[in-house]
């Protein structure tokens, strides 16, 4: 009986150890898979590498005052040194947890060389607009500020003497593209909106994400307060909700990749239907992921074509 009890205890301890080992193994594999997604996301896309600024292009950093809450947003300006003014102007809206210069490194120089005056700004609680002890991404009002700031930024640009206020375009990537569709399309001064990898309905979009990315957003980035985007936030920044009953002022163009695991292609198709777009108003790649990896040249060519024709 003594041996039987010992054997039973041994088996119980063995089961306990194996159970915990299996749990740790599953956790380890999960972390490796998620880390692989993150590394692939940030390492493969050339758009995340800062492009050298040619000598003929001027770059300057400044701050845009946001009077509604007495704060400033870090902004960047790019243009040819001999640019004819006032010039057609492009405003860049970066994605979540990113910044203007990094998200559009592949695009800025090319737009300048085409004769466009280019602006980008780090949105509320992002990049250089995030100061120590200041606003951060855990602010429950962050999306309200991100949405309303766009109006103040466009108003600021309108007052600059070298901006052609009749020829303003907005280009946005991911969250920036979603914001552009939700707000810039109805702004009276915006003539062209180009949205890349943009959502149609954020709450639905989060549910469609690859499970690894949902985990990243929930546990690492604290995105949307733990992947739970509130109804009021969704109504504010989702094109499907925000544009109900509103007239679209701008010409809209979309770009997306079928293998995007963050913003699924179904969101792209929903936006095509929402804006009643024709095939010449969008481009859909078979591969390229969320950041158009190895598709930058084709995307750049298409963006310049849209701008040259419609702005």
Q: SS3 string of 29-97?
A: HHHHHHHHHHHHHHHCCHHHCCCCCCCCEEEEEEEEEECCCCEEEEEEEEEECCCCCCEEEEEEECCCC
Same domain, 7 and 114: no
Same domain, 13 and 151: no
Same domain, 87 and 178: yes
CA angle, residues 285, 287, 293, in degrees to nearest 5: 100
Q: Name the nearest CA neighbour of 76 among 86, 89, 66, 63.
A: 63
Same domain, 6 and 153: no
| Per-residue pLDDT, 44 | 45
Same domain, 164 and 68: yes
Same domain, 88 and 13: no
Same domain, 35 and 62: no
Same domain, 15 and 126: no
Same domain, 38 and 140: no
The span from the CA of 96 to the CA of 22, in Å, is: 35
- Print the domain residue range for 298: 51-310
Same domain, 86 and 185: yes
Q: Name the nearest CA neighbour of 154 among 163, 145, 162.
A: 163
Same domain, 154 and 284: yes
Angle between helix axes 142-158 and 175-182 (nearest 10 degrees) is: 70
Low-confidence ranges of the chain (pLDDT < 70): 1-51, 131-137, 210, 212-229
CATH code assigned at 186: 3.40.50.1820
> What's the total number of domains in the chain?
2
| Per-residue pLDDT, 100 | 81
Place of tokens 């695991």: 261
Same domain, 89 and 150: yes
Q: Using an 8 Å Cβ cutoff, are 182 and 200 in contact?
A: no
> Residue 280: CB partners within 8 Å, gap ≥ 6?
none
The span from the CA of 255 to the CA of 76, in Å, is: 24
Q: Name the nearest CA neighbour of 250 among 277, 223, 225.
A: 277
Number of H-type helices and E-type strands within the chain = 12, 8
Q: Name the nearest CA neighbour of 222 among 126, 104, 97.
A: 97
At 23-43, the pLDDT tens digits run 666 666 666 555 555 555 444
């Amino acid at each position: 009986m003594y041996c039987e009890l010992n054997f039973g205890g041994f088996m119980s301890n063995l089961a306990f150890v194996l159970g915990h080992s299996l749990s740790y193994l599953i956790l380890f594999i999960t972390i490796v898979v998620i880390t692989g997604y993150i590394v692939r996301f940030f390492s493969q896309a050339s758009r995340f590498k800062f492009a050298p600024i040619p000598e003929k292009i001027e770059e300057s950093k400044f701050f845009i005052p946001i009077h509604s809450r007495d704060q400033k947003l870090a902004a960047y300006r790019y243009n040819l040194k001999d640019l004819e003014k006032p010039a057609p102007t492009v405003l860049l809206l970066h994605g979540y947890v990113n910044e203007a210069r990094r998200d559009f490194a592949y695009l800025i120089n090319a737009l300048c060389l085409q004769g466009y005056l280019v602006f980008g700004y780090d949105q509320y609680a992002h990049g250089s607009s995030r100061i120590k002890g200041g606003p951060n991404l855990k602010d429950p009002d962050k999306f309200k500020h991100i949405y309303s700031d766009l109006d103040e930024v466009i108003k600021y640009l309108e007052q600059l003497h070298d901006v052609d206020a009749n020829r303003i375009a907005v280009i946005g990537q991911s969250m920036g593209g979603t914001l552009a569709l939700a707000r810039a399309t109805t702004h009276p001064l915006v003539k062209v909106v180009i949205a890349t990898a943009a959502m149609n309905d954020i709450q639905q979009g989060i549910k469609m994400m690859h499970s690894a990315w949902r985990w990243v957003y929930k546990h690492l980035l604290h995105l949307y307060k733990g992947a739970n985007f509130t109804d009021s936030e969704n109504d504010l920044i989702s094109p499907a909700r925000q544009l109900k009953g509103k007239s679209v002022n701008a010409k809209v163009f979309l770009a997306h990749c079928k293998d995007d695991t963050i913003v699924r292609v179904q969101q792209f198709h929903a936006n095509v239907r929402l804006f009643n777009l024709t095939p010449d108003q969008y481009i859909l790649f078979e591969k390229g992921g969320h950041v158009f990896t190895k598709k930058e040249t084709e995307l750049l060519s298409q963006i310049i074509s849209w701008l040259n024709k419609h702005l």
